[in-house]
Amino acid sequence: MEQRVALITGGARGIGRALAVALAAKGWAIAASYRTSEEQARSLAAEIGAAEGRILTVHADLSDPASASNLVLRTEEEFGRIDSLINCAGSYHRKPLLEESVEGWHAMFGDNLHSVFYLSRAAAHGMITRKWGRIVNFSIAKADQLVGQPFITAHYIAKVGVLILTRSLSKILAPHGITVNSISPGFIESGGAPQEEFAQLKKNIPAGYAGSPMDAVSAVCYLLSEEARYINGTNIHLSGAWGI
């Protein structure tokens, strides 16, 4: 069997990086995109390369449809195929809704929802031809509850859109042997927030602790497996029962 290839957006740090390292260790070839994390992308390439893995890192602004299409094209040129698209990238900021700028509003949709559409549309063609593929999108805990979010309104609406896009793609692509699922993390200790903040957050998590990137890795690896071939259009809460 030919080597599987995973395209991971936001693959230079956090959950995306943990996925890149884990899948490379399982024998997958990895294409990882980044926008601002150039140093982390270099160290990722060095880490996977030192273990004799195949790795391509690409700088890309995925809110731009041409850049997203080019990322898919470069990956296919380098490795000949894309078996799995894992949409981890997505920006986030807190801003009271009535103080949000037009630019900030559009950025939340461009980075978190539009990019998933651009990449899924481009990567699906090869998957359809080969009659096999896995697309995993990242939303957020509580996105399926449609609750008011005065400080992250645009981000939240975009992540709700990811759930609907996931379900729509799953119906379209299921006849071609392709699954499309989403994962909705709660609080994950990926290095982006101070430890003191997580200590406070843990009080609200029924499990009693925040998750780690490896929890996401386990969920994604299952969705990529043949054991999960009949799971399509679902959303996995990765939150220790927070936000449900």
23 Cβ partners below 8 Å, 6+ apart?
Answer: 6, 8, 30, 221, 224
Please tell me the number of Cα atoms within 13 Å of 204 on its side-chain side: 10
Extended beta strands in the chain, E state:
5-9, 29-34, 55-59, 84-87, 133-138, 178-185, 235-238
Residue ranges and CATH numbers for the domains of the chain are 5-238 (3.40.50.720)
Question: In angstroms, how far is the first alpha carbon of the chain from the final one?
Answer: 40
98 Cβ partners below 8 Å, 6+ apart?
Answer: none
Of the candidates 125, 121, 153, 126, the residue with the CA atom closest to the CA atom of residue 137? 121
3-state secondary structure of 33: strand
Of the candidates 83, 42, 55, the residue with the CA atom closest to the CA atom of residue 177? 83
Q: What are the structure tokens assigned to 166, written together? A: 């996931």
pLDDT tens string for the chain (244 positions)?
Answer: 689 999 999 999 999 999 999 999 999 999 999 999 999 999 999 999 999 999 999 999 999 999 999 999 999 999 999 999 999 999 989 999 999 999 999 999 999 999 999 999 999 999 999 999 999 999 999 999 999 999 999 999 999 999 999 999 999 999 999 999 999 999 998 766 666 766 777 788 999 988 999 999 999 999 999 999 999 999 999 999 998 8
According to DSSP, residue 2 is labeled P
